[in-house]
A and B are shown apart, each in its own frame.
Chain A
Amino acid sequence: MNRRITFIAISALLAGLTGCASAGHGAAGQAAESFHGAVAGGQGEQACALLTPRAAESLRSGGEECAQAVLSLNLSGGAIRRAEVWGDEAQVRLEHDTVFLHRFPQGWLVRGAGCQARGDLPYDCEVEG
C-alpha cells in the first residue's frame, strides 16, 4: 500500500515537473480530429464551436460568417501522427495539418489550424486566434 502511494506521489510530482498529462494527449487529439471531421462533413457551425473565441472571431471578416469561412478554407486533416501537451497548450500533428489547441475549463479548443511550419518562426496558420 505504501509503495503504491509512493508510486502515485512520484508520478504526480514528475507529471507536475514535466508538465505532461498523458490523458490530455488523447483529449487534445480527439478535439483536433472532431474539428477536421466537422470541416470534412461540411458542418461549419460544429467546426466553429470547436474553435477558441478569438480564432472564430478571426474568421468573421468582410461580413462572412465563421461557419461559411471555415469551410471555404478547404482544410484537410487526416490521421493523428503525434500529439504533445505542455501545460494548457497542445500541438497535434495530423497527416495533412498541424493543429494548435488551448485547454479551457470546458475542454480543448482549436486556436490554430491549417498551419505550415516556417523554420524557427511561428507556424503560418489559416485559422489563428
Chain B
Amino acid sequence: MRSFLKDNALSLFFLVLFLLALAGQSVAGNADYNERQVAEGGAALSWAEYVTSSDFAVDVAENWQSEYLQFLLFIMATVWWVQRGSPESKEPGKEGTESDSDQQVGRHSEPDSPAWAKTTGLRLKLYSNSLGMTMGLIFLLSWLTQSLAGRAAYNAEQLARLQDPLSWWEYVGSADFWNRTLQNWQSEFLAVLSMVVLSVYLRQRGSPESKPVGAAHKATGVEG
C-alpha cells in the first residue's frame, strides 16, 4: 500500500486536488447561481439540482476543453517545432516524427516495449499517435458538451429577457460561445508560452520540468 502511494503520488496528488476543486466549484457556483436567482425573483436550486444543471455543465466543460486543447497542441507542436534552450523542447535538428530506431518501434523495439509498439502497420500507427488522438478526442467531446450545455444555459437567459432561444448552429456562432471559448484559450496559450520561454532562463531544482540548475541557457531538451 505504501509502495503504491509512493509510486503514484503525483497522479494521486492531482486527482485529490481535482476532486476538491470540482467540489468547491459546485458549492461556490451553486451559491452564486442562487444569489442571482433570488435577485431576479426566481427559485433557488439545491446542490443536487445545480450539479446536474446546464449552468454547472457549461462552466466545467469550457475549462476542460481548453486544458485538453492546450496539452494537445503542446504534444503536437513539440513534434515539429523546437525552442532552443527549453527543457520542454527537443534538441534542434530532431524536428519531426523521428526514425523507428529512435522511437524503438517495430524491429527496433525492446523486449519490454508495449505490445503494439512491436507491431507494424495500422496498430503501430494508432499506438504511435494514441496520446494526441486521446487528448484530441477529449477536447472535442468537452467542446461539444460546452456547446450543448452553453446553449441550454444561454437559452434560459434569452427567455428570461423575453428573447427568442437560439438553435445549436446559431449558438455556436454566437458571441457567448466564442467569448467563453476564447477567454479560456488565451490563458492556456499564455501559460504554455511562459513555461517554454521562462524555463530557458529560470530553474526549479529537482523538477523534471526544469533543466538542472547548472545547465547552460542554450542547453535544449535537458531535464533536471
Interface positions of A (Cβ within 8 A of B): 12, 16-20, 52, 54, 84, 86-91, 100, 102-105, 112, 115, 117, 120-123, 125, 128
Contact = CB atoms under 8 A, between A and B. Distances in A.
A104 B54 CA distance: 18
B148 A18 contact: yes
Contacts of B159: 84, 86, 89-91, 100
A121 B57 CA distance: 28
Interface in B180-210: none
B162 A86 contact: no
15 contacts: A17-B57, A18-B151, A19-B53, A52-B41, A84-B155, A84-B159, A86-B158, A86-B159, A87-B55, A87-B152, A88-B42, A88-B43, A89-B160, A122-B161, A122-B162
Interface string B82-93: 000000000000
Contacts, number: 72
B105 interface: no
Interface in B122-164: 145, 148-149, 151-153, 155-156, 158-164
A10 B148 CA distance: 14
A128 B163 CA distance: 13
Interface in B152-180: 152-153, 155-156, 158-165
A112 B149 contact: no
Nearest to B61: A17
A121 B164 CA distance: 9
Contacts of A115: 162
A16 B43 contact: no
Contacts of B158: 86
Contacts of B151: 18
A18 B43 contact: no
